[in-house]
């Protein structure tokens, strides 16, 4: 199919980045996403007598019949690339829970026009699957690492798996993935005391560390702004320890404000969607595991691509639908504003 039009929203933003969730299931229970462990309950009970929801909504996993097949994902990505998408990131849930995920990576890696194919994972299964993923065409990967303390890691993730994640990060570097990024969601009172240690770890191992503000995407709806450590506060702490220099912005749509160490080893980034929104340059589109298009991480509306994929729509029809959805992309999220409404589904269901 020949398609020359781009995905341009009504605010003039050209979309180049597609996030594809390939499963809504996860083997971790992180405080900021699926706070269903006893440790999570105890933490939040310290602030409320009862959690806002007695029964977490995120356990209602989609049945397999509603999850997009590899063929449907490949077709969707191919169409999006024909309309100007250049970067594709596979997410979850936990993407490595999807069986034969390396086969999907190989399918997507063969699509002409993709300049960057990456994945975000908690890393638990990467030791088992990393080499096959690299051989299939995966070139970049981001790991979640919220703590370097074994007990605190288990409190935050619900899993005693710090050793496996650290080993996975090392393996990714040995496999030549570059850069290897590490994401830490900072929650005040939980892991904010580890900011300096995480930065030191990034420098020691020559990693790109990203500190991310706590966002209102948890299944318990327990988020409060008082738990957010603003990016500027994180940066002040880091600058008090290291002589950091700002890294030049590679493009306006970068979500992270990047900083480098004097010796050029390792990199730190601040992602501050709550305190310093970067919506004006957002160039992302999201596809959920069950085939819904989302034009913003905090959208309250989802657009049904799956039914069109399964009801005989032509490539031309699907391309026109993609363009019509992108035209509806929100100008910004409304976190912290009086009219803010959390998305119905948690981060694990939306895809990061």
- pLDDT tens column, 178-191: 999 999 999 999 99
Tokens 């398609």 sit on residue: 3
What is the span of the domain harbouring residue 83? 17-350
Q: Is residue 100 part of a domain?
A: yes
Tokens 């939306």 sit on residue: 350
Residue 243's domain is classified under what CATH number? Answer: 3.20.20.70
Run of H or E including 14: none
The answer to whether the beta carbons of residues 34 and 352 sit under 8 Å apart is no
Q: Is residue 1 part of a domain?
A: no
**What percent of the chain shows pLDDT beyond 90?**
69
- Cα separation of 272 and 256, whole Å? 8
Q: Is residue 172 part of a domain?
A: yes
Query: pLDDT (tens digit, 9 = 90+) per residue, 160-219?
Result: 999 999 999 999 999 999 999 999 999 999 999 999 999 999 999 999 999 999 987 665
Query: Best-predicted range by mean pLDDT among 139-148, 298-307, 327-336?
Result: 139-148
pLDDT, residue 348, reads 67
49 pLDDT more than 50: no
Q: Is residue 228 part of a domain?
A: yes
269 phi, psi to nearest 5 deg: -135, 145
123 pLDDT more than 80: yes
Domain count, the chain: 1
pLDDT, residue 301, reads 86
Q: Is residue 9 part of a domain?
A: no
Give the pTM: 0.90
Number of H helices, E strands in the chain: 11, 12
How does the average pLDDT of the chain come out, rounded? Answer: 88
Q: Is residue 210 part of a domain?
A: yes
230 pLDDT more than 50: yes
- Cα separation of 278 and 333, whole Å? 10
Closest CA to 221 of 32, 7, 14, 11: 32
- Cα separation of 188 and 179, whole Å? 28
- Cα separation of 47 and 49, whole Å? 7
Q: Is residue 7 part of a domain?
A: no
59 pLDDT more than 60: no
Q: Is residue 10 part of a domain?
A: no
């Amino acid at each position: 199919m020949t398609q020359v039009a781009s995905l341009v929203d009504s605010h003039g933003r050209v979309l180049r980045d597609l996030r594809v969730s390939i499963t809504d299931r996860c083997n971790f229970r992180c405080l900021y996403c699926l706070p269903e462990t006893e440790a999570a309950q105890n933490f939040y009970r310290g602030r409320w007598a009862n959690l806002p929801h007695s029964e977490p909504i995120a356990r209602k996993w989609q049945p397999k019949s509603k999850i997009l097949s590899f063929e449907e994902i490949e077709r969707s990505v191919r169409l999006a690339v024909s309309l100007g998408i250049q970067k594709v990131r596979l997410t979850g849930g936990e993407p490595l829970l999807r069986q034969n995920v390396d086969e999907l990576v190989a399918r997507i890696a063969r699509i002409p026009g993709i300049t960057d194919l990456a994945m975000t994972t908690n890393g638990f299964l990467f030791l088992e699957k990393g080499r096959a993923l690299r051989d299939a065409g995966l070139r970049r990967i981001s790991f979640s690492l919220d703590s370097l303390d074994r007990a605190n890691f288990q409190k935050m993730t619900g899993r005693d798996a710090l050793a496996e994640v650290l080993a996975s990060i090392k393996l990714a570097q040995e496999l030549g993935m570059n850069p290897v990024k590490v994401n830490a969601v900072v929650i005040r009172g939980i892991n904010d005391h580890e900011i300096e240690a995480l930065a030191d770890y990034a420098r020691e191992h020559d990693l790109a560390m990203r500190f991310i503000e706590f966002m209102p995407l948890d299944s318990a709806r327990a988020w409060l702004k008082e738990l957010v450590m603003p990016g500027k506060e994180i940066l002040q702490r880091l600058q008090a320890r290291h002589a950091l220099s700002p890294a030049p912005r590679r493009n306006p749509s970068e979500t992270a404000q990047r900083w480098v160490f004097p010796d050029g080893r390792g990199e730190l980034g601040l992602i501050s969607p709550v305190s310093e929104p970067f919506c004006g340059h957002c160039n992302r589109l999201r596809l959920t595991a069950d085939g819904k298009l989302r034009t913003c991480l905090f959208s309250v509306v989802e657009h049904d691509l799956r039914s069109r994929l399964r009801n005989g729509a032509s490539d031309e029809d699907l391309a026109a639908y993609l363009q019509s959805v992108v035209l509806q992309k929100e100008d910004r999220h409304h976190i912290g504003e009086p009219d803010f409404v959390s998305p119905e589904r948690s981060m694990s269901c939306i895809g990061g």
